[in-house]
Structure 1
Amino acid sequence: MSGAECCENPPNLNSSCVTTGSVEELGGLNCYVVGSPDSKVAVLLVSDIYGYEAPRLRTLADKVSAAGFYVVVPDFMHGDPYVPEDSERPLRLGVWIKDHGPEQGFNEAKPIVEAIKSKGVSKIGAVGFCWGAKVAVELAKDSYVQAAVILHPSFVTLDDIQGVKVPISILGAELDHVSPPELLKQFEEVLDKKPEVNCFVKIFQGVVHGWSMRYKDEDKASLKCAEEAHQDMLDWFIKHLK
């Protein structure tokens, strides 16, 4: 995993972005929750290394909830997202990852999934960005969820993809050294040999790793690609969960 690419253009976690959800405890973790608790379909949003407070992630959660989903964004970082400029800790991403591995996120996701189901939800989708993609794939391997979407994934291997049991959409960037198009094409080849698993792979041209959450506001081309990816994600869940 390339620390340089994953750390580019970090979000402003102190943004005054207006959102419609609230923070509550679910499955043992604080979660940003939005949408009707009476909905029978839910989506679990798993963040990148910058955590569940990222304004664009919460704005996206609001958009997904407006389509009729109950949306949960867990704080898998336990209030300790990666902060590149933090002088109180080692700045190396690898050091931070040791304390915040996606395997831990997967284990912590399981009780959250059960808590969501206890509300009467019948189908759950999981979407993961970068770090969160590994968590989403692990959930898809063990059928904790009924559909998955991963965007510019990190840590995901061919063996992981081989184990996926539910419909999965993979959205990547042309200029990505963490999950390059060549790797995503290999993912597609593996999935094509599993006719029982519906898959969709798309490479967005001219954008870099992390673009869907951390594009620059003035970069209109990346913004357009991000919005297109978000719509692709939403369409996937509408197709497979509703």
Structure 2
Amino acid sequence: MSCPKCIEGSVLPGEPTGSIQPDFQGAYLAPAPANSGSNGAKNFSIVFLTDGFGLPLKNCKILADKLASDLGCDVWVPDYFAGRPIVDLNTLVAPQRADQKMTILDWIKMIILTIPKIPAFVASRPSVVDRRLAVFFQTLKEKKSYEQIGAVGYCYGGSTAIRLASTDLINTAVICHPGTFTLEEIRRIKVATSWACAEVDIFFPDSLRLQSEAEFESRRGSDRFVDYEFKVYPATAHGFAARPNTEYADIMEAHEASFQQTVAWFKKTLST
């Protein structure tokens, strides 16, 4: 469920420009630019699924703002932890590079930090989060008129995006260094997916990535085939797309490249 990489990262520079929407279960909204409707774009939106830090870590809001600007659409960040993130901001520490192994001390520290959060993990287990998201999507349907919805998820949100990709709630997904999931969940995916992968990832090792790719490729030529891509970013570890170490130029380059991968995928798979 958790590893030392889940509590590592840096705070991105800048300040959010969107706002919290009480009528949407406290979701953060990064609105489309005022002039975005003049370019003929169809009415679509992105749902941004956070890592375990949730809304309190401003990175998700800053990235949502950038997506809204680059894609010209509304970007929503639902509070699917219901105000109780599974990781506290005060546990955020600078990550190690991919080639630096986690020590026994790292694991001991993680266990000590995780024990007090066990109730929060239970309160936001996948089945509960999925029910909260079902309510959120229903609210979007009732109050908005989006023709298509894409989802991008990071870490815990990546696992959530995998589950959403097997439903009719979204039309496409980007999955960034996901948390735990099963091959059976991969087999149920029925929308196009783009994967931003870390070089070293305890949750998503090369063996599981290759099995996932093989599952998608095995569908080619059948009516179950969905478009897909996997990109692995050298020198990176779990969390780089959401919480990059700003001290390392190559990690920041990978972070930006994964963001551009996300933008390009949504431009490709959502109608414009």
TM-score between both structures, scaled by the size of structure 1: 0.89
Greater relative CO (CA pairs within 8 A, separation 6+): 2
Q: Which residue of 2 aligns with 1:178?
A: 203
Larger Rg, first or second structure (1 or 2):
2
1:64 aligns with 2:62: no
Which among 75, 79, 88 is matched to residue 83 of structure 1?
88
Distance 2:182 2:268 in 1: 26
Query: For structure 1, which segment, 202-211 or 51-60, has the greater mean C-alpha deviation from structure 2 after superposition?
Result: 51-60
Q: Which residue of 2 aligns with 1:123?
A: 148
- Given that 2:44 and 2:148 are in contact with CA atoms closer than 8 Å, whether structure 1 keeps it comes out as yes
Q: How many residues align?
A: 235
1:159 aligns with 2:156: no
Q: CA deviation at 1:97?
A: 1.8
Q: Which residue of 1 aligns with 2:22?
A: 25
Instruction: Describe the SS at the equivalent of 1:156.
Output: coil
Q: CA deviation at 1:236?
A: 0.7
Label 1:132 to 1:60 Cα distance change in 2 as closer, same or farther (>3 A): same
- Given that 1:129 and 1:152 are in contact with CA atoms closer than 8 Å, whether structure 2 keeps it comes out as yes
Distance 2:63 2:128 in 1: 24
Q: CA deviation at 1:185?
A: 1.6
Q: Which residue of 2 aligns with 1:9?
A: 9
Q: What amino acid maps onto 1:112 in structure 2?
A: F
Distance 2:183 2:3 in 1: 21
1:207 aligns with 2:212: no
1:99 aligns with 2:123: yes
Q: CA deviation at 1:114?
A: 2.5
Identity %: 28
Label 1:2 to 1:19 Cα distance change in 2 as closer, same or farther (>3 A): closer
Give the gaps of 5 or more residues in structure 2: 92-111
Give the gaps of 5 or more residues in structure 1: none
- Given that 1:147 and 1:166 are in contact with CA atoms closer than 8 Å, whether structure 2 keeps it comes out as yes
Distance 2:78 2:2 in 1: 24
Q: What amino acid maps onto 2:83 in structure 1?
A: G
User: Could you list the runs of 4 or more consecutive aligned residues of structure 1 that deviate by over 6 angstroms after TM superposition?
Assistant: none
RMSD: 2.1
Q: What amino acid maps onto 1:162 in structure 2?
A: R
Q: CA deviation at 1:92?
A: 1.6
